[in-house]
Structure 1
């Protein structure tokens, strides 16, 4: 348990054992609503009535498969909307600074709308600006795809003209719905990546991705249902998580792929099932949540389950992973505690403990009173008589409120909390990972001072103040 401190005497902070909650404050760092909207399966709003009323000819299908050239290589793409929406593989454009698409003999610089990852969902969505009435292909109904079905592969292998794609014939050998792929045999080469795999009516059944290692002649295409969901994810504003972190569930195409909540204290009850979207790293069932926040706000997220292990990932508006935590051992909670540095939409992934795990869970969101990351270095002014350095922060509290202060530091810090009248509420030396609980004596603004014990103390620290009601039940800081 966290030791409790009461007024009126300032208490010297006792030392506490670090728990998994205190480790949360070290996060890992890594990596528009569209004008296009899907209608019934296999069609797009901006396809012409003529295109929907009859299957295209082979020549028309070839015209809808485009050559893509980047500063890193080349590949193929498929126009699926007559106003210039192109689907290709993520690996075709990965790392490219410029993407040039050859369409009807013209070279057009493409804009990247959304991109997945070759190790997750290998798709990318491009837009050709200021284009109208382009040839396009419909997306097939996934229910019409069968084993042994004849297909054609259309794309641009090495040496082919950017204005004349190659066409090869093949047969679907297997349909792997859980992994979102179609296996087929056809003589397709690396330059065909991103090209179309079409049925007898030249409807897209998949986007060619490559070959299966160790097999002879077996090719892989991203299934049309994944293509449809990827476009729908962009339309719903989920450009980053879908394809880079999560493979969407087929069942989610007719409903929102994520649930939104407010950045205030609240609770969501979820249920992870085998048919849900999957975390790319290991195939575990995953639910997606979003919330809007302003730069400078703080958030604490807690996921708890008695039926499955808990994992949480927080993704920023720029698509980069901000924080990650997982339950360990008998502790069934994952907790994220973070100060947000960007304004915009954040994404939360609630992930089961493993591929075979499923079950109900609770997801709680709340706003900490204070979360700050700082450093004592040569630029920090001394503020103690012995020359020790310190930094100070302000937070607002109310009379009678019980709070918990958590510290995670590269050095042994010395902490002082002063109330609105300037009186000391708490003062003392702490361990590098430590915590203390105390009651606030009055309404108003408090001052927190974080300093070094010795004049030579330097390094980074994270300090957090939480309403004690928001502490995880199984992650209490225990007294040493």
Structure 2
């Protein structure tokens, strides 16, 4: 009796024709293929999981009681992974933000006190550190070389459960997420690898055990949609946090909102966009103030680039060099002005 065969669908089609097709294999061959997939995942987990840690935080909260407001400890948990043998750990900003006490549980079961090295809420990334040496580390890969459809593996250590693993494919690249600061996080990775509660801050890994992203969020109510900050962004942010304790971005020194440009002014000034950024306040002695920007001005361009919204300004400032001089297009009393502005360093919060 001949063994039954299984038809494996081929996207490329037979002989690379591009037409739907299939390859007939025996159950034994199919089992070997599935086993190869399992072996690939197992090998990745065995290599990366020792570097994945559980992070517990304690925040101070307030509660109303019959005797008045009272403080209480609010526990939190997330994941992270070691990026240096001497104890530097990469995780999410929202995992550690506002914590008055941090503890890290390593894969070998040790629980150590941790200190916050620095965080960048604008990218939802943070670095914490435990004291140690010779610790296992996870290798950061190159997220610019990712391809939609490739295998990805999400590893976390939620609530002390070691090596919680899910797998999937890379669903999309170049997504954007809104951070806690209101800025857009760009080039976000979308995957269908499920993120369990407490997996935030854990690594998203490719089939060669290289970290390609930091798991950060899921969309509530949407099935199969998880997101990660790309590894190249994480490498840049982590380096600055370890070196300086924060990420310094260029600073203009205004409070603003999006406003439409009156049609007459847009036509008279030859503006191609129907909206600009209305200046509500100017930081005293800030870059914009020194350049002559006033409340009520309408910013329509920066260095020749049209400003369609606040996100465009944030995007430009995130990439600009502190100390560089740029030109700002401003509509004031129906006239288009061009003002040179020397960008400063962003304080704890600002635009």
TM-score (ref. length: structure 2): 0.56
Report the 3-state secondary structure (helix = DSSP H, G, I; strand = E; otherwise coil) of the residue aligned with 2:99.
Answer: coil
CA distance in 2, matches of 1:167, 1:283: 35
Q: SS state of the match for residue 206, structure 1?
A: strand
Partner of 1:241, secondary structure, is: coil
Please show how residues 219-368 of structure 1 align to structure 2 within 5 Å: 219-234=226-241, 237=244, 239-241=246-248, 272=303, 283-286=314-317, 287-289=320-322, 305=327, 308-309=329-330, 330=335, 332-333=338-339, 347-348=345-346
- The one of the two structures with greater contact order (alpha-carbon pairs below 8 A, sep at least 6) is 1
SS for the counterpart of 1:305 is strand
Equivalents in 2 of 1:228, 1:222: separation in Å?
Answer: 10
Return closer, same or farther for 1:108/1:236 CA change in 2, 3 Å cut-off. closer
- Per-residue deviation, 1:116: 1.1
Structure 2 residues not aligned, in runs of 5+ = 1-41, 59-74, 177-185, 253-290, 292-301
User: How far, CA to CA, are the matches of 2:247 and 2:120 in structure 1?
Assistant: 7
Q: Is 2:199 the partner of 1:184?
A: no
Whether 1:115 and 2:119 are equivalent positions in the alignment is: yes
1:215 pairs with 2:237: no
Name the CA distance, whole Å, in 2 between partners of 1:214 and 1:229: 32
2:200 matched to 1:199? no
Q: CA RMSD in A?
A: 3.9
Measured in 2, the distance between the counterparts of 1:70 and 1:138 equals 25
Q: Which residue number in structure 2 is paired with residue 127 of structure 1? A: 129
Question: Under a length normalisation based on structure 1, what TM-score does the superposition of the two structures give?
Answer: 0.42
Report deviation, 1:204. Answer: 0.4
How far off is 1:83 after superposition?
Answer: 1.2
- Residues 236 and 74 (structure 1), Cα distance of their counterparts in 2 relative to 1, 3 Å cut: closer
Deviation, structure 1 residue 126 = 1.2
2:45 corresponds in structure 1 to 58
User: How far apart in 2 are the matches of 1:115 and 1:280?
Assistant: 21
Deviation at 1:151, TM superposition (A): 0.6
Q: Secondary structure at the match of 1:221?
A: strand
- The total of aligned residue pairs comes to 228
Q: CA deviation at 1:289?
A: 1.6
- Of 170, 173, 176, which residue of structure 2 is paired with 1:175? 173
Q: Give how far 1:69 is off.
A: 0.2
1:93 alignment counterpart? 96
- Greater gyration radius: 1
Q: CA deviation at 1:282?
A: 5.7
CA distance in 2, matches of 1:211, 1:244: 31
Residues 21-80 of structure 1, C-alpha deviation per residue, up to 9 Å, x if partnerless? Answer: xxxxxxxxxxxxxxxxxxxxxxxxxxxxxxxxxx97522311111000001300000111
**Structure with the higher fraction of residues in helix conformation:** 2
SS of 1:76 mapped into structure 2: strand
Residue of structure 2 equivalent to 1:139: 140
